[in-house]
Chain A
């Protein structure tokens, strides 16, 4: 009962090629069985170009480096160098000059050392910028806590996203929040981008349990079937979707 189990599923928008997928996720490779590890999820904003690249850079920075916030300016320069390294048509030049924007939820997950707590309980400390979400679930899919939103309507507001442009980036940093939550050994942490996040706040425990089981098993085929059903029913917005589930083994 000492190992972390991490599963993930992800998919692009309906009918879209995998290359259009602009979410990103990462956890510290090879360290998932240690006492602590870092996990990040990011959603590149559809309205900006090369947002998938920016999202990928953000999750890598968070997972690799505890001082990731100090690296943002350098990261933005690297993004610009990659984007402008080739001749761009007029429309892509104009679009790229508007920068790329992405949410980021970076979590530090730590096995609790407290002797006063239930043995095996764990703590998640998350830095949240924008509308990527995390949820604490009981084994039967009952949603216990959600961050940063608690109501579906909150997804209707325009989130402050981390940007390659300094003025926008600073605004996102100013509006970012750090949330800390403690989980019992039997609870699960589910982290997702916004389309799934909204769905989570409207879904029944049975439906949530189904999704978390699929994600924990990293069953991509089952996830795509599940997505197709939700999109067809209209219960799920057609967007890139990413789910990462963490539990104790």
Chain B
């Protein structure tokens, strides 16, 4: 399981579920709202996947199909804007040529002589932060289930779809566990679809990441998110270990009270299969 070779004929799928409820306008210690931090991290991740799939041709190779579903304000819909508005799952070549805009951002880079210089670098933006209304997580997970099923019907031998849910609060449309489990029941010939959950927090509470049991999870909601989350396949587990996390076999793709830095690392670990 979780060994399928990812090729253009046998692509893999990443689906991001982004909480866009009103509470996402809460500010993180870094000074960004949670919504802006998630948008930045996800845009950066999309950019990285495009670059990893880029070879000698202008267009990247379609090793991945990627979707970003936003949920909040009573709606569950594709979070892409611009030309990709409304699209649920998009081949990476189309993502590359259709950012909503390309901003110039300042970046600190080594000058080659031991110093650091500021340089403007392009930053592609596919979706913008949003924050309003409730948290229809069940509806979002059901949408994910439909998207995953559609992808698997086209690519039954694919590396199992990876669904990453980023939220800052509890579901407001019911218990998300049955919908989460339904995603994991969809299987390719290489194993069940994967669902990872990250709870982003601006509070000072301790972060719990990649737990392998509910032991120590005093918060009922944390335990729920844990139950919803898949066990990390070996490659992801190894990356988590090499990133310094004390994780053991059976660790789940789960983080509670995560801070911005944890979010970035979580996305890296969950999408490590893009490192081809």
A residues with a Cβ closer than 8 A to B are 13-16, 20, 46-47, 49-50, 52-53, 88-95, 98, 237-238
Contact = CB atoms under 8 A, between A and B. Distances in A.
A89 B52 contact: no
A237 B7 CA distance: 12
Contacts of A237: 5
Given A50-B56, A90-B122, A90-B124, A14 B9 contact: yes
B189 to A, nearest CB: 12
Nearest to A86: B58
A90 B122 CA distance: 7
A92 B58 contact: yes
Given A49-B54, A52-B56, A91 B7 contact: no
Given A15-B9, A91-B54, A91-B96, 7 more contacts: A46-B55, A49-B56, A91-B50, A94-B51, A98-B51, A237-B5, A238-B5
A13 B51 contact: no
A29 to B, nearest CB: 26
Interface residue SS majority, chain B: loop
Interface residues of B, number: 20
B276 interface: yes
A237 B3 CA distance: 12
B160 interface: no
| Most chain B beta carbons < 10 A, residue from A13, A88, A90, A94 | A90
A46 B230 CA distance: 29
20 contacts: A13-B7, A15-B7, A20-B55, A46-B276, A47-B276, A49-B54, A49-B56, A50-B56, A89-B58, A90-B102, A91-B50, A91-B51, A92-B58, A94-B47, A94-B51, A94-B122, A98-B51, A237-B5, A238-B5, A238-B7
A91 B47 CA distance: 8
Nearest to B97: A89
Nearest to B102: A90
A47 B276 CA distance: 6
B140 to A, nearest CB: 29
Contacts of B176: none
Interface of B: 5, 7-9, 47, 50-52, 54-56, 58, 60, 96-97, 102, 122, 124, 275-276
A125 B124 CA distance: 49
Contacts of B9: 14-15
B269 to A, nearest CB: 17
Nearest to B274: A47
A94 B53 CA distance: 12
Contacts of A98: 51
A92 B97 CA distance: 12
A98 B7 CA distance: 22
Nearest to B3: A234
A98 B55 CA distance: 12
A50 to B, nearest CB: 5
B107 to A, nearest CB: 12
Contacts of B54: 49, 91-92, 94-95
A20 B47 CA distance: 23
A2 B138 CA distance: 76
B232 to A, nearest CB: 18
A91 B102 contact: no
A89 B96 contact: yes
Contacts of B56: 49-50, 52-53
Contact of B55 (A14, A49, A90, A94): A49
A88 B55 CA distance: 12
Nearest to A52: B56
Nearest to B123: A90
